[in-house]
Amino acid sequence: MINKVITADEAVAGVKDGMTIMVAGFLGTGSPEVLLAALVRKGVKHLTVIANDGGLAEGQPAVGAGKVSRGVGVLLDHHMVDHIIASHLGVNPRLNEQFADGSLKYTLVPQGTLAEKIRAANYGLGGVLTPTGLGTPMETEKDELGRDKIVMELDGVKYLYERPLHADYALCRASICDRFGNFVCSKATKNYNYVMAGAADKVLVATERLVEIGEIDPDTFAVSGVMVDDIVEGEPKWQI
Amino acid sequence: MADIKARIAKRVAKELKDGDVVNLGIGLPTMVPQFIPEDVVVTLHSENGFTGLDAMAAEDKIDTDIIDSGGNYVTVLPRVNYFDTATSFGIIRGHHLDATVLGAMQVAENGDLANWIIPGKKVAGMGGAMDLVVGAKEVIIAMTHTQKGNHKILEKCTLPLTAEKCVNLIVTEMGVMKVTDEGLVVTELHPDFTKEEMQEATGCKLIFSPDLKPMED
């Protein structure tokens, strides 16, 4: 069997300047910190990042004092991102600083639409039709690649057509993953992990716990290892 | 101000029915659960990925795998179910939420809502707001009636919309307004205010219901 378990540095070795990467997580929770740290070590620049938000800056968790930045916040600290495609950008102050100095541009996508655009890419669909965003700037503003939005009326009901959103790399985080890549995420760490795994040319999973095949009940796993290219051990349980 | 917010939250709580699944926005809406009667069992949805939200977690009860959509560590009820973002927004967009309670910057008399962006100000983003107001069966706006003396309830919103014609009910410290095809119908007026004062504080014509009731504190 192919060995998918490699180091974080090996996993991100193919990430190049200017690539598009999607990063799972919601305000840092469920983001693969060991993969983000490896990207910082590699020092890639000019990334386009697809994520729910800009993660957290140092000192930001709502409860307890955060000692380090989390999620996409790590990439923002090192000015590695040129374009962020996300649904919420109000929390991490690095975002508005970098919008203001012109080094970062953004495209906003409603949260449910963002998930479905990613899911469409993952599941081989030509896009999705959603009522969300009709009559708002989502209808009149261009999309993440500068294309006009299209309103479709089907059987008397109006929808926005939203195109698939695909990346070069997807960075996911598992609570438990086996050597085939079958994985599961604990509680509220699922968020985009189950959606993004499969929506990129290369899917990397950082896991808190790596298990041997057959070591635990296969019914535990929520995502098929078919979606996963490389697995990295040593993802920390977040400590506050 | 605290009294006004509690009055609004208390009144919103009366709209919720036993068995409802509800999503609450940040700020004032999070005060609603404390006013829900014990015999009314409501399940709270947290759009980052679960139903069955209980309360803010005390420092010694924190599980770092459980945050709410505001990024706070929270506790959950035994009936909790966790899901990914696509499922969470399927619940929202697919009309499986009975209600959402949100604040607003502006609401128009036809139910148009603006609550996510002020052009020229710091970029924040809509998060889940656009999906919530399109998908929830009942959209309840809980807010103060005016903002520093400026009208928030208008003939037409001037800020970019969150969605068109999505609001069903507006609850403020002055009263309760239903969005109808005829316009905004005031069903309750707080005794601190006269009809004239409420109309004065509103940027569109109010229709006072023939069954107008006093709003309770």
| pLDDT grade for B2, boundaries at 50, 70 and 90 | low
A87 touches chain B (CB under 8 A): yes
A191 interaction partners in chain B (CB closer than 8 Å): 48-49, 84-85
pLDDT digits (tens, 9 = 90+) for B103-161: 999 999 999 999 999 999 999 999 999 999 999 999 999 999 999 999 999 999 999 99
- The verdict on a CB contact (< 8 Å) between B134 and A132 is yes
CB pairs under 8 A between A and B: 157
| pLDDT grade for A64, boundaries at 50, 70 and 90 | very low
Catalytic residue among B15, B47, B109, B188: B47
CA–CA separation, A96 vs B122, rounded Å? 7
Counting every residue written for chain B, the total comes to 217
pLDDT digits (tens, 9 = 90+) for B109-118: 999 999 999 9
Q: Say what the pTM is.
A: 0.97
Q: Side-chain half-sphere of A108: how many Cα atoms within 13 Å?
A: 23
CA–CA separation, A74 vs A158, rounded Å? 40
CA–CA separation, B115 vs B8, rounded Å? 18
- The verdict on a CB contact (< 8 Å) between B65 and A175 is yes
Interhelix angle A111-122/B85-93, nearest 10 degrees: 120
When CB atoms are compared, the residue of B66, B70, B124 closest to A188 is B66
pLDDT digits (tens, 9 = 90+) for A96-109: 999 999 999 999 99
Q: Is B196 labeled as catalytic in the residue annotation? A: no
Residue of B nearest to A193 (CA): B84
A88 touches chain B (CB under 8 A): yes
Mean pLDDT for all residues in chain A: 96
- Per-residue pLDDT for B214 more than 90? yes
When CB atoms are compared, the residue of A52, A115, A131 closest to B86 is A115
> 């995420």: which residue's tokens?
A185
A116 interaction partners in chain B (CB closer than 8 Å): 86, 89
Closest chain B C-alpha to A2 CA, distance in angstroms: 29
A99 interaction partners in chain B (CB closer than 8 Å): 123
- Residue B100 forms beta bridges with which residues? B23, B139
- The verdict on a CB contact (< 8 Å) between B123 and A95 is yes
- The verdict on a CB contact (< 8 Å) between B125 and A189 is no
Mean pLDDT for all residues in chain B: 96
CA–CA separation, A217 vs A223, rounded Å? 14
pLDDT digits (tens, 9 = 90+) for B179-190: 999 999 999 999
